[in-house]
Structure 1
Amino acid sequence: MSKRFIALLLVLILALSVLIAGCGTDGKEIGSEDTDGQKPSEEGTTPQPEEKKYTIKWVGTSADRSPVEKDTPTEKYLEEKFNVDIEAYSLTDFNNQLAAMIASGDIPDVMFSFEPQNWQPLVDQGALAEVSEDVIRKNAPNAAKLIDETDPRVWAIGKYKGKNWAVPKVVGTEFNTGAVWRKDWLDKLGITKVPETLDEYAQAFDKIVNGDPDGDGKKDTYGCTGQGGHPVRQFDAVFGAYGIMPGQWRVVNDKVIMSTIMPEALQALTLLHDWYQKGYIDPEFITDNPQTAGQKFDAERLGMGWTALDNFHPDAPSGRATLDAWSKRNPDAKFAFGPIPAGPNGDRGDWLWGPRGNFVVFGAPLAQEPDKMAKILQMMDTILSDEELAIRVYWGEKGRTYDFIDAAKGPSGGLKYLPPYDTDPNARAKEGIGYFFQNLYPVYDWALPSITAKYRSQDLYKLNMELANWQEGRDALMRPYLPSAAQYQGNLDKLKTTAYSEFITGQRSLSDWDKFVNEWLDQGGRKLTEEAQQFYEENMKK
């Protein structure tokens, strides 16, 4: 082999080695950064790019409308856990402030919404992003499963004009109201059994009105009062005893009818008129509301109050406050729990939400950011379903903001906020705890029912199951928002409350009932019934 050939071979080998080295390192030293700025791992694999960090404009709500502050401990906790930045907007005048924000072009990413009539106009304004049921099921599977298990018809209420625009929330552990009686009065009057039927109510009322139970020598006590100006709470427990609920739709043989004008409503009004004539009902019922009714009970003017049993039970915050106030005002007062009255056919009920609660909607800009919408849904679903996180978001930190009601019972005795968080909504607002970030919570609960069941008073739950679990008083159509409701509903509510009060007091004869029904139909009720029938045919009929 010639020296010239060997020299040429060496040159080729050297050139090839340089080429291979260049391909392997892309012109860089081994161990230097790649062109995308990432370093290979020790195993030689390239890590995934970091998750994008989103800024989320978040409009939540709280039951007391307290102004949640920015940069609360809860907000910071969620930002760190989910690698996001949150801009919290707290609205005390919720619907008006939200409308003003959107009108100014400041559209939040995620918004709590009370009713379809609140978010459907936002769709018409182009302010909301569509969120399909498939997207919800993929990114919020626990919330979707909860809807399916509660009542799958709830999905229909999130739809509008053929598309899904809202994540519908369900109602959690919902009970009817109960009756709280002055037991010391019943004992004094010789009533040994807590009233359970309309007849037993009337017998007790008669003795309360005529038997001077407060011992002041005056005829100044009444059996009960009502909320005469309220469109749905106007003696609703009495109407429920006849199997209907004014203000809610019923379906009879596939025909939709409003309870307000059903024959059973006339039967209830006839009884209430009789009670009024006999003095059983406080004559100021026309202007009474929950606050004034409570004040009259506190002033020892009423022998019975329809209320949530929690409000007089020591395991509930409201109950502890009520009983503490009574112990100072009249330590001799005693109370007995009873059910709302059963009617002639055994029916019981008062107004209930039914399976459908409120809604979560998304701002229009998220239509262009589906990954951001998915991130928000995943966050909310985790807050709903992760026990530790749900407690942290709603209750805060154990020993500082909340604790067990009874240390001996532990979780089964229920949870309570500690002072000042128990009575001061602004203190909770500064922490960011409560409902603000728990947007998918079932109404009356603060997380999945399987979680909240572990942390409730078993004594109070048992009492509610015995005395307030009739589950009657639900709208058959789940309170849909009908196209003509904005035009007619306000006037129809006024017509109904005025006419009902006049029927009860005798200002209007009960013989005018058919005339009232025609007035209701002619003033928009007929149109709403047609729309309700159409909604039933399209969404509810099996």
Structure 2
Amino acid sequence: MKKRLGIGRGIVGLTLTAMVALAGCSAGSTKSPAATAGTGTGAPAQTAEPVLEFNWMNVPGMIQENSYGHKWMESKFNIKLKPVYPIASGDFAQKQQVQLAAGDVPDVMFVLDPGNLNKYASQGLLAEIPLDMIAKYAPRTKANLDKQAPQGWYYTNISGKNFGVPTFYFTGQFNTKQVWRTDLLKKAGIDQVPKTIDEITQAFAALKKIGVYGMSSNGQSYYNAFHSTFGAYGVMPTQWLVKDGKVVNGAVQPEAKEALGKLAEWYKAGYIDPDFLTGKDIVAKFSTGKIALIDFADAASLDESNPNSLINVVRKNDPSAAISYAPLPEGPRGQSGGWAWGTAGNIWAFGKQLEKDPEKMQKALQILDALQNDEQAWLPLAWGEKGKHWDYKDPAKEVAGGLKHVEPYVDNAKLQAEGIVDISTGTTFWGAQANLDIVGKYYNQFALDNYKLYNKPVWDLFGKSDILPSSGKYWGDLVKLKTETYARIIIGEQPLSSFDDFVKQWNERGGSQLEKEANETYSSMKR
């Protein structure tokens, strides 16, 4: 997974498919969402405050100028926003860096990851945002981050100073799913979905007899390759974890070597598809019955109402096919777990110029606090206007029955043009990444039930592994070293004993320095 946008990070590809009351927003409001959100842009805020102008660099997306969301923001918060131009996700990081390097520093900007934040701060482009200021002007955001996503403060901490406001990441609390072709298991004489490493080994042996590989994975992924197998041995490469009172990296632990030994055994026995090295065509092979297990499926895999869901893709090839979610495998010591990203997502940062404009800094914090914690402020940017962009699935049940987009806004591109982003992606424009309680209330119940099924998430101590001061210098090389070495051990190109040489190389190439910084960072944040 590349630097994340707060987007659901399990599988992207298995389905061919993120309080201070302001201008009438009240945390204690008893009105229904329709009563407040259904008024479109709403009446202009009645306030004697001056209209402040913001250069607000948004979450990447193809938002159009003078969109519904743009106008709603201006009316709701009595501000003026400079024109917003669309930036595609793939171009965002580069365009942001070019813009800032040219001296065009937004007042408020969405930053993808701690590495970029560190770079901008070191260049003197960002305002420090003291935590006590966030607690004063965005008190609900501060309190909810402390409770729901405390690792986010690692993202924004640079040398003991805070340079941003982390976002919430709702689906980061869930690991990706394991999915079996249960029809293939039955064909091989296996009546129960395997639950342990030993049971999986037996199932793989039986599947081989009918010409089916047991599993594949994305060998090009530094984090996702065979993640559940490593979880069965109590470790998650390349996450930082506390072990025996010390912060260490999972990639170089003896438990990782133990898991690699099992994977090498499976590969040698012919249980793992050799094409795992590329990570290509996994869905195609699963759907045509060439492999029986995928360990990084998503929560919509079994959604029969979605024509692009995994179950429907499989049934296009075989109408009688059956698939099932499965528990993460238990290892020899009863351990299990799967990769999850944690509940902090990205960062909102402020341009250096706001240090000299406390009024704008305070206003920006108040806006973020409302959009992230006031349901009636968040809903219009997350879903839009009732009757135009969305409606209740069951009017009698209202929110409890779920919301649905209406034509033509079932098309996410049209939503983005309006300045709205489908919350199932985890991100919304202008900072409306609501806390977990609000998002959970509106999240698709079918997907949410499946997310919760067999959920044993394992996330990095810091949320993101590359938050350390020297990550920009060493992390890319270390990830490449890990990915290549693990693959060579699994396919037998290198013996399992070469893991010890890998640990030595890891430490020499910056791993020791990062471990030192990891312990220093952890200790400083605990105080």
Q: Report the CA distance between 1:321 and its aligned residue.
A: 4.1
- Mapped to 2, the partners of 1:497 and 1:397 lie a distance apart of 46
CA 1:76–1:535 in structure 2 vs 1: closer, same or farther (change >3 Å)? same
- Mapped to 2, the partners of 1:315 and 1:461 lie a distance apart of 15
Q: Which of the numbers 202, 211, 233 marks the counterpart of 2:224?
A: 233
- Mapped to 1, the partners of 2:297 and 2:140 lie a distance apart of 29
Q: Report the CA distance between 1:398 and its aligned residue.
A: 3.1
Tell whether the 8 Å contact from 1:237 to 1:340 is kept in structure 2 after alignment.
yes
Q: TM-score if structure 2 supplies the norm length?
A: 0.83
Q: Which of the numbers 413, 417, 440 marks the counterpart of 1:430?
A: 417
Which amino acid in 1 is paired with 2:328?
I
Tell whether the 8 Å contact from 2:485 to 2:502 is kept in structure 1 after alignment.
yes
1:461 maps to which residue?
A: 448
Which amino acid in 2 is paired with 1:76?
K
Which amino acid in 2 is paired with 1:109?
D
Q: Report the CA distance between 1:384 and its aligned residue.
A: 1.6
- Mapped to 2, the partners of 1:464 and 1:193 lie a distance apart of 22
Deviations 1:466-511 (A, max 9, x none): 312x132433675352222222211111111111001000000112
Which amino acid in 2 is paired with 1:138?
K
Relative contact order, higher structure (CA 8 A, sep 6+): 2
Q: Which of the numbers 294, 314, 319 marks the counterpart of 2:303?
A: 314
Higher mean displacement: 75-84 or 451-460: 451-460
- Mapped to 2, the partners of 1:222 and 1:485 lie a distance apart of 38
2:493 pairs with 1:507 = yes
Q: Which of the numbers 221, 224, 228 marks the counterpart of 2:215?
A: 224
- Mapped to 2, the partners of 1:49 and 1:425 lie a distance apart of 35
1:179 maps to which residue?
A: 178
Which amino acid in 2 is paired with 1:107?
V
1:53 maps to which residue?
A: 51
2:276 pairs with 1:296 = no
Q: TM-score if structure 1 supplies the norm length?
A: 0.81
Higher mean displacement: 377-386 or 261-270: 377-386
1:397 maps to which residue?
A: 385
1:528 maps to which residue?
A: 514
Deviations 1:112-155 (A, max 9, x none): 11211101111121211111112211221221111121254643
- Mapped to 1, the partners of 2:304 and 2:316 lie a distance apart of 19
1:3 maps to which residue?
A: none
Q: Report the CA distance between 1:448 and its aligned residue.
A: 2.6
1:252 maps to which residue?
A: 243
2:127 maps to which residue?
A: 129
Tell whether the 8 Å contact from 2:135 to 2:142 is kept in structure 1 after alignment.
yes
Larger radius of gyration: 1
- Mapped to 2, the partners of 1:153 and 1:163 lie a distance apart of 15
1:357 maps to which residue?
A: 345
- Mapped to 1, the partners of 2:118 and 2:309 lie a distance apart of 40
2:318 pairs with 1:330 = yes
Deviations 1:432-455 (A, max 9, x none): 1013425252xxxxx232223332
Tell whether the 8 Å contact from 2:344 to 2:463 is kept in structure 1 after alignment.
no
Tell whether the 8 Å contact from 2:156 to 2:163 is kept in structure 1 after alignment.
yes
CA 1:393–1:187 in structure 2 vs 1: closer, same or farther (change >3 Å)? same
Q: Report the CA distance between 1:325 and its aligned residue.
A: 4.1
Q: Report the CA distance between 1:429 and its aligned residue.
A: 1.7
Higher mean displacement: 450-459 or 122-131: 450-459
- Mapped to 1, the partners of 2:462 and 2:491 lie a distance apart of 30
1:22 maps to which residue?
A: none
- Mapped to 2, the partners of 1:343 and 1:409 lie a distance apart of 44
Deviations 1:156-182 (A, max 9, x none): 442213321111234335211121111
**3-state SS in 1 of match to 2:207:** helix
Aligned-pair RMSD on alpha carbons?
Answer: 2.5
CA 1:398–1:325 in structure 2 vs 1: closer, same or farther (change >3 Å)? farther
Q: Which of the numbers 340, 346, 360 marks the counterpart of 2:334?
A: 346
- Mapped to 2, the partners of 1:452 and 1:60 lie a distance apart of 20
**3-state SS in 2 of match to 1:224:** strand
1:82 maps to which residue?
A: 77
Higher mean displacement: 398-407 or 244-253: 398-407
Which runs of no fewer than 5 residues in structure 2 stay unpaired? 1-45, 422-426
**3-state SS in 2 of match to 1:312:** coil
CA 1:52–1:412 in structure 2 vs 1: closer, same or farther (change >3 Å)? same
CA 1:388–1:321 in structure 2 vs 1: closer, same or farther (change >3 Å)? farther
Which runs of no fewer than 5 residues in structure 1 stay unpaired? 1-47, 212-218, 442-446
- Mapped to 1, the partners of 2:77 and 2:92 lie a distance apart of 27
- Mapped to 2, the partners of 1:378 and 1:526 lie a distance apart of 41
Which amino acid in 2 is paired with 1:132?
P
Tell whether the 8 Å contact from 2:177 to 2:325 is kept in structure 1 after alignment.
yes
- Mapped to 1, the partners of 2:317 and 2:385 lie a distance apart of 34
- Mapped to 1, the partners of 2:225 and 2:239 lie a distance apart of 13
2:255 pairs with 1:264 = yes
- Mapped to 1, the partners of 2:408 and 2:275 lie a distance apart of 36
- Mapped to 1, the partners of 2:503 and 2:192 lie a distance apart of 39
1:38 maps to which residue?
A: none
- Mapped to 1, the partners of 2:81 and 2:208 lie a distance apart of 58
**3-state SS in 1 of match to 2:128:** coil
CA 1:234–1:59 in structure 2 vs 1: closer, same or farther (change >3 Å)? same
1:193 maps to which residue?
A: 192
Matched residue count: 473
Q: Report the CA distance between 1:395 and its aligned residue.
A: 1.4
Higher mean displacement: 425-434 or 48-57: 48-57
Q: Which of the numbers 111, 114, 117 marks the counterpart of 1:113?
A: 111
Q: Report the CA distance between 1:85 and its aligned residue.
A: 1.6
CA 1:130–1:320 in structure 2 vs 1: closer, same or farther (change >3 Å)? same
Which amino acid in 2 is paired with 1:193?
Q
CA 1:316–1:503 in structure 2 vs 1: closer, same or farther (change >3 Å)? farther
Tell whether the 8 Å contact from 1:315 to 1:457 is kept in structure 2 after alignment.
no
- Mapped to 2, the partners of 1:125 and 1:507 lie a distance apart of 44
Which amino acid in 2 is paired with 1:537?
S
Higher mean displacement: 154-163 or 516-525: 154-163
2:494 pairs with 1:498 = no
**3-state SS in 2 of match to 1:181:** strand
**3-state SS in 1 of match to 2:81:** strand
- Mapped to 1, the partners of 2:166 and 2:438 lie a distance apart of 20
Q: Which of the numbers 29, 49, 64 marks the counterpart of 1:69?
A: 64
Which amino acid in 2 is paired with 1:528?
L
Counterparts of 1:143-158 in structure 2 under 5 Å? 143-150=141-148, 152=150, 154-158=152-156
Tell whether the 8 Å contact from 1:177 to 1:340 is kept in structure 2 after alignment.
no
CA 1:460–1:67 in structure 2 vs 1: closer, same or farther (change >3 Å)? closer
Tell whether the 8 Å contact from 2:286 to 2:314 is kept in structure 1 after alignment.
no
Tell whether the 8 Å contact from 1:315 to 1:405 is kept in structure 2 after alignment.
no
- Mapped to 2, the partners of 1:307 and 1:408 lie a distance apart of 37
Deviations 1:307-365 (A, max 9, x none): 34423132896x86444444544322222111221111221122221243211100112
2:362 pairs with 1:371 = no
2:438 pairs with 1:439 = no
**3-state SS in 1 of match to 2:55:** strand
- Mapped to 1, the partners of 2:383 and 2:47 lie a distance apart of 35
